[in-house]
Amino acid sequence: MSFLKLYFRSPPAIIGLVLLILVLAMAATADWFYPRDPLALAGRPLIWPFSNPRFLLGTDNSGRDIAAQIFHGARISLLIGLVATVISVFIGITIGALAGYYGEWVDTALMRVTEAFQTLPNFILLLVLVAVFGSTITTVTVAIGIVSWPASARLTRAEFLSLRNREFVQAGRTLGLRDAKLIFGEILPNALPPVIVYASVVMAIAILLESALAFLKLSDPNVASWGNLIGAGRDVLRVQWYVSAIPGVAILVTVLAVSLVGQGLNDALNPRLKGR
Amino acid sequence: MDMTRRAALLTSAAIASSVAFPMRTFAQQTPRKGGVFTVHYGAEQRQLNPSLQASTGVYIIGGKIQEQLVDLDAAGNPVGVLATSWEATPDGKTITFKLRDGVKWHDGKPFTSADVQFTAMEMWKKILNYGTTLQLFLTAVDTPDPLTAVFRYERPMPLGLLLRALPDLGYVSPRHLYEGKGDIRQNPVNLAPIGTGPFKFVAYERGQHVIADRNADYWRPNAPYLDRIVWRVVTDRAAAAAQMEAGQIHYSPFSGLTISDSARLSKDPRFIVSTKGNEGNARTNTVEFNFRRKELADIRVRRAIAHALDIPFFIENFLGDFAKPGTGPVPSVSTDFYPADNGPQYPFDKKLAAKLLDEAGFKAGAGGTRFSLRLLPAPWGEDITLFATFIQQSLADVGIKVEVVRTDGGGFLKQVYDDHAFDLATGWHQYRNDPAVSTTVWYRSGQPKGAPWTNQWDWTNPAMDKIIDDAATEVDVAKRKALYGDFVRLANTEIPIWTPIEQIFLTAISAKARNHSNTPRWGSSSWHDLWLAE
């Protein structure tokens, strides 16, 4: 209860939550408002928004309904964001926990690997992965997850380093708990809050990475993603700028919402900010 | 809406200027010497020598530096460049070219029949795409004197075919820079070409520009007019349009701009956007079928796919005024070979398409899907991407699920023509004035695996092979035309590939340019008479 109270004290957090619920609602109602395939030919290409009541947001250069693509695209973007985040955080936590808990050579080895990944610009690495494994929505999502884990690994490691010698851990060790039980049962729950907050950043980055790929026309062309719509609109940017601008706004809103919610969670969960 | 009013104003301005322009251009016709002409260069090739690679991406640069035996004049008839006259023996097995006297290579060495002999035997016959097929039966080139080259063929070579092929496949390279210098393909001269043309190569900066300067010793009197040509490498089409508007680029050839930017510039009086000067570069959009898929080997399925596409709708809404429905592999601009009867056509009829698919035994399953296909669109044209999407959307309506697979250029050629890892492919077939030059290779069986833009569909038809072989060695002009009529009708009956859209490349050029677009392959030609008004 006090957590919710803390959360709702901050106006940006409330705005973020409202926007996020809006995007979720779009994803949930996409089939209801736009039951047809969003990639189907809907009408004449390049109809301006608000000029034809059948196509509220107009049509793109392939004659597809932009509004339908925005609604269905919300699903894809959220799906990519969530799945890629889960993959990235899972890898990050596992590596960070092992490195932080065992220390010594395990830590050294795992952190060198992490640094190796960090020195590569993640977008370049993503391009390589997509070029090698093809650009279906599954490979794109997994690839985004794989390129964005190092930061959460380092964060988890830092938490583990500070927690592993606390009294409750030593008590557990004295009681003869196995390492796995100690890591995942005792330390991890206490190390999780900052990682969860960071996950919101990863999710925002994942959505942006997919859009960037699609802008270069390297994402899966068989799904209605916002990034694909921006990529298609690039060809008509000078005159029919709305084809790129509308999904751009959708991405902006979603990324903003996720970031604001993350910030709100951070403020609510951070004990040092309590009582301010 | 405000937009419409603005568009209307621009249109009327364009009309006003187009009325004013002819008077100005015809009134002030004294060519001005000097000036730098800048060209949009969209897709860099691996080399610049047109004796080794037949593609517009090479001609746009190499065609100003090197010259061919024969080019096309304004009416599309062969006109001598390095050759001054030609004649064939009645059996069609010997063709003699008289060469131009006093022509010098850019390095000062004289141009002779030895250059023609070497280029024909070592480059056209062995390396040049399309050339290897065209010159398959060339056995020798004799050089009785420095200004005579005698081509000897094992089987008859129709003179008309050779003269129509040479403007594209007849560029001559300097023997003294290639002979005994190792692998011709790896010769550094390919990236710094030496020719006989009106412009001398100066510099090539990868990803930046190519520069060529006026050849003061050019054999045509008082030519060329321009001091310099600069080709700017701009891969982003929208950026190229912006540079044209900023005055940094004069000319964007071969549909280098996006369709919407072309339409916009066509309303701007500072530019001329037209298909003129590209009649020799007609192209058709293709739908290529892989017969290794049992569904596509069934002719009813191929016909159903053709009937499922509303081509007039696609053209009207997506391609605009610059395209028209295709009638077969030989486009309607080919006055010499376009047949009176093209055989069966496949108008849009969704019900018939569904009926054909049912008859073929591919009933709609769960969710209305009959079967799935992978479609590979070639990555070199906005229209191809749009057409691929349109195919996907249209076939979904008749229960065929299409997955579009994106690749880069090399990946497309490899997957389709070498690995055969496709179900449907769509790209361009470029028609080069004679079906034997550019078109029959798409239908003739026995093409080497991996040869791009050839029959890699696993489709063999003995009747088709016979027509193609007979036509390629038929010296009688009327009989050849009749044979190509049979070719078109059989191609349209069997549709191993379907060519539903016919387009001519679009040129966007500054209104300051004069003597432009005056031949059917002007973008590829030498530009010896091009000049820039103040």
DSSP string across A144-178: HHHHT-HHHHHHHHHHHHHHTTSHHHHHHHHTT--
Task: Tell me the residues of B at the A interface, defined by beta carbons under 8 Å apart.
Answer: 1, 3, 237-238, 241-242, 258-261, 264, 317-318, 382, 386, 389-390, 392-394, 396-397, 403-406
Mean pLDDT of A184-210: 89
Predicted local confidence at residue B47, as pLDDT:
86
Partners of residue B150 on adjacent β-strands: B96, B142
Are both B284 and B407 inside the same structural domain?
yes
Q: Locate B196 and state its tokens.
A: 């006989």
Predicted local confidence at residue B325, as pLDDT:
94
Q: Do B1 and A217 touch (CB under 8 A)?
A: no
Q: Tell me the C-alpha to C-alpha distance, in Å, between residue A167 and each of A162, A164, A182, A185, B57.
A: 11, 9, 13, 15, 73
**CA-based nearest residue to A153, from A200, A203, A115:** A115
Asked whether residue B384 is assigned to any structural domain, the reply reads yes
Does any CB of chain B come closer than 8 Å to the CB of residue A2? no
Which single residue is written with the structure tokens 């994106």?
Answer: B406
**Cβ–Cβ under 8 Å, residues B329 and B435:** yes
Predicted local confidence at residue B28, as pLDDT:
53
Q: Do B258 and A236 touch (CB under 8 A)?
A: yes
Does any CB of chain B come closer than 8 Å to the CB of residue A61? yes
Cα A231 to Cα B262: distance, rounded to the nearest angstrom: 19
Does any CB of chain B come closer than 8 Å to the CB of residue A128? no
- Per-residue confidence at A273, pLDDT binned at 50, 70, 90? low
Are both B300 and B438 inside the same structural domain?
yes
- Pick B393's closest partner by Cβ from A41, A218, A235: A41
Tell me the nearest-neighbour CA distance from A6 into chain B, angstroms.
Answer: 48
Residue B34: Cβ within 10 Å count: 11
Asked whether residue A59 is assigned to any structural domain, the reply reads no
**CA-based nearest residue to B424, from B378, B376, B361:** B376
Asked whether residue A37 is assigned to any structural domain, the reply reads no
3-state helix, strand, coil in chain A (%, to 5): 75, 0, 25
Which residue is closest to A217 within chain B, CA to CA? Answer: B406
- Amino acid identity at A120: L
Q: Do A240 and B260 touch (CB under 8 A)?
A: yes
Predicted local confidence at residue A268, as pLDDT:
82
Task: Specify the DSSP class assigned to residue B120.
Answer: I
Interface residue of A239, A241, A242 to substitute, partner B, most B CBs within 10 Å? A239
User: B197-228: b or e for each residue (b if 16 or more CB lie within 10 Å)?
Assistant: bbbbbeebeeeebbbbebbeebbeeebbbbeb
**Cβ–Cβ under 8 Å, residues B426 and B394:** no
Asked whether residue A53 is assigned to any structural domain, the reply reads no
**Cβ–Cβ under 8 Å, residues A99 and A153:** yes
Partners of residue B71 on adjacent β-strands: B79
Asked whether residue B450 is assigned to any structural domain, the reply reads yes
Predicted local confidence at residue B335, as pLDDT:
84
Which residues have C-beta within 8 Å of that of residue B147, sequence separation ≥ 6? B98, B99, B100, B101, B112, B113
Tell me the nearest-neighbour CA distance from B403 into chain A, angstroms.
Answer: 6
**Cβ–Cβ under 8 Å, residues A101 and A164:** yes
Which residue is closest to B313 within chain A, CA to CA? Answer: A44
Are both B307 and B453 inside the same structural domain?
yes
User: Considering B121, B144, B173, which residue would you say is the last residue of a domain?
Assistant: B173
Predicted local confidence at residue B16, as pLDDT:
39
Asked whether residue B333 is assigned to any structural domain, the reply reads yes
**Cβ–Cβ under 8 Å, residues B162 and B33:** no
**CA-based nearest residue to B123, from B132, B113, B110:** B132
Cα B25 to Cα A172: distance, rounded to the nearest angstrom: 94
| Three-state secondary structure call for residue A42 | coil
Asked whether residue B218 is assigned to any structural domain, the reply reads no
CATH number of the domain bearing residue B316? 3.10.105.10
User: B428-441: b or e for each residue (b if 16 or more CB lie within 10 Å)?
Assistant: bbbbbbbbbbbbbb
The domain of A102 spans 2-32+73-273
Strand order in the sheet with B83-88: B83-88, B94-99, B148-153, B138-145
Q: Tell me the C-alpha to C-alpha distance, in Å, between residue B246 and each of A238, B251, B272.
A: 14, 12, 15
* Backbone φ, ψ for residue B222 (5° rounding): 60, 25
Tell me the nearest-neighbour CA distance from B226 into chain A, angstroms.
Answer: 32
Are both B304 and B430 inside the same structural domain?
yes
Q: Do A238 and B241 touch (CB under 8 A)?
A: yes
3-state helix, strand, coil in chain B (%, to 5): 35, 20, 40
- Per-residue confidence at A276, pLDDT binned at 50, 70, 90? very low
Task: Specify the DSSP class assigned to residue B502.
Answer: E
Which single residue is written with the structure tokens 């190796």?
Answer: A116
Q: Where are the alpha helices (DSSP H) in B338-476?
A: 350-359, 382-397, 409-413, 435-438, 462-472
Tell me the nearest-neighbour CA distance from A220 into chain B, angstroms.
Answer: 8
Interface residue of B2, B268, B406 to substitute, partner A, most A CBs within 10 Å? B406
Asked whether residue B238 is assigned to any structural domain, the reply reads no
- Per-residue confidence at A114, pLDDT binned at 50, 70, 90? very high
CA atoms within 13 A on the CB side of A25: 6
Q: Tell me the C-alpha to C-alpha distance, in Å, between residue B524 and each of A35, B171, B430.
A: 50, 11, 14
- Give me the average pLDDT of each 10-residue run along chain B (534 residues): 41 40 52 94 87 90 96 91 95 95 95 96 90 90 96 93 93 96 92 96 94 95 94 90 94 89 91 90 93 96 96 90 90 90 95 95 89 92 90 94 87 91 95 89 88 91 94 90 96 96 93 93 94 90
Cα B244 to Cα A153: distance, rounded to the nearest angstrom: 50
Distance, first Cα to last Cα, chain A = 18
Q: Locate B70 and state its tokens.
A: 């024969």
Asked whether residue B60 is assigned to any structural domain, the reply reads no
Q: State how many domains chain B has.
A: 2
- Pick B406's closest partner by Cβ from A44, A217, A239: A217
Which chain A residues have a beta carbon less than 8 Å from that of B382? 235
Q: Do A61 and B386 touch (CB under 8 A)?
A: yes
Predicted local confidence at residue A74, as pLDDT:
93
Asked whether residue B153 is assigned to any structural domain, the reply reads yes
Cα A72 to Cα A29: distance, rounded to the nearest angstrom: 9
Tell me the nearest-neighbour CA distance from B258 into chain A, angstroms.
Answer: 6
Q: Do B260 and A239 touch (CB under 8 A)?
A: yes
Asked whether residue A90 is assigned to any structural domain, the reply reads yes
Number of CB pairs < 8 Å for A and B? 58
Interface residue of B376, B392, B401 to substitute, partner A, most A CBs within 10 Å? B392
Q: Tell me the C-alpha to C-alpha distance, in Å, between residue A83 and each of A90, A143, A213, A218.
A: 10, 11, 17, 19
Q: Which of A49-63, A81-95, B3-17 has the lowest mean pLDDT?
A: B3-17
Predicted local confidence at residue B19, as pLDDT:
40
Which chain B residues have a beta carbon less than 8 Å from that of A234? 238
Predicted local confidence at residue B15, as pLDDT:
39
| Three-state secondary structure call for residue A201 | helix
- Pick A45's closest partner by Cβ from B264, B317, B392: B317
Asked whether residue B321 is assigned to any structural domain, the reply reads yes
CATH number of the domain bearing residue A13? 1.10.3720.10
**Cβ–Cβ under 8 Å, residues B270 and B17:** no
- Per-residue confidence at A271, pLDDT binned at 50, 70, 90? low
Q: Do B260 and A235 touch (CB under 8 A)?
A: yes
Asked whether residue A46 is assigned to any structural domain, the reply reads no
The domain of B454 spans 280-504
Q: State how many domains chain A has.
A: 1
The helix (run of H) or strand (run of E) holding residue A133 is helix A122-133
Asked whether residue A268 is assigned to any structural domain, the reply reads yes
Interface residue of A36, A41, A44, A217 to substitute, partner B, most B CBs within 10 Å? A41
Asked whether residue A52 is assigned to any structural domain, the reply reads no
User: Considering B173, B198, B224, which residue would you say is the last residue of a domain?
Assistant: B173
Asked whether residue A63 is assigned to any structural domain, the reply reads no
The ipTM is 0.72
Are both B169 and B284 inside the same structural domain?
no
* Backbone φ, ψ for residue B23 (5° rounding): -60, -45
Q: Do B406 and A221 touch (CB under 8 A)?
A: yes
